[in-house]
C-alpha cells in the first residue's frame, strides 16, 4: 500500500494527512502527537478512528494541520484519518459512519452584527 492523501475540516481548521502502512506513529506538523496535542482528550479524539476499526498499530500518519484552535484541529485530523481508513479498506465505512466521523460538522462561528456586542449579545442596557 502506498501513501493515501485525504483532507478533513472542522470550523476553520484544515487537516491534510498522508497515511501509509507502518507501526502506528502519528506526526502532526513535524512533532509527535503527544507533543502537539498535550491533553489526553485531544489525543483520544485523534486516535478514535483507529480504535473504532481496531487498526491501532497498522498505519503511520503524517498530518499537516493549520487554522482554528486545538479542538478544531484535532477533530479535523480525526475526519481526515477516517476518510483515509475508508480509502484503504471500504469495510471500515459502516463503523466509522455510525460514529459520525465521516460527516463534516458544518457549524461555524456566527458573524458579529452591527449595533450588538457580539453575534447576539446586546450592549448592556442603561436606564439613565
**pLDDT tens, residue by residue, 4-30:** 999 999 999 999 999 999 999 999 999
pLDDT of residue 1: 66
**pLDDT tens, residue by residue, 66-122:** 999 999 999 999 999 999 999 999 999 999 999 999 999 999 999 999 999 999 999
pLDDT of residue 72: 95
Cα 95 to the chain's mean position, in Å?
A: 17
The dihedral region occupied by 67, where left means phi > 0, alpha psi between -120 and 50, and beta the remainder, is left
Answer yes or no: are the C-beta atoms of 26 and 42 closer than 8 Å. Answer: no
- The edge-to-edge listing of strands for the beta sheet with 26-28 is 4-10, 13-21, 59-66, 26-28, 31-32
pLDDT of residue 103: 95
Amino acid at each position: 500500500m502506498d501513501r493515501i492523501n485525504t483532507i478533513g475540516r472542522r470550523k476553520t481548521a484544515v487537516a491534510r494527512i498522508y497515511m501509509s502502512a507502518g507501526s502506528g506513529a502519528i506526526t502532526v506538523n513535524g512533532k509527535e502527537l503527544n507533543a502537539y496535542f498535550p491533553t489526553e482528550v485531544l489525543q483520544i479524539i485523534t486516535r478514535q478512528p483507529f480504535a473504532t476499526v481496531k487498526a491501532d498499530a497498522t498505519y503511520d500518519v503524517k498530518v499537516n494541520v493549520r487554522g482554528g484552535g486545538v479542538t478544531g484541529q484535532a477533530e479535523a485530523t480525526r475526519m481526515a484519518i477516517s476518510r483515509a481508513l475508508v480509502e484503504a479498506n471500504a469495510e471500515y465505512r459502516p463503523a466509522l459512519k455510525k460514529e459520525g466521523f465521516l460527516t463534516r460538522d458544518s457549524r461555524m462561528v456566527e458573524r458579529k452584527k452591527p449595533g450588538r456586542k457580539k453575534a447576539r449579545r446586546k450592549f448592556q442596557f442603561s436606564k439613565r
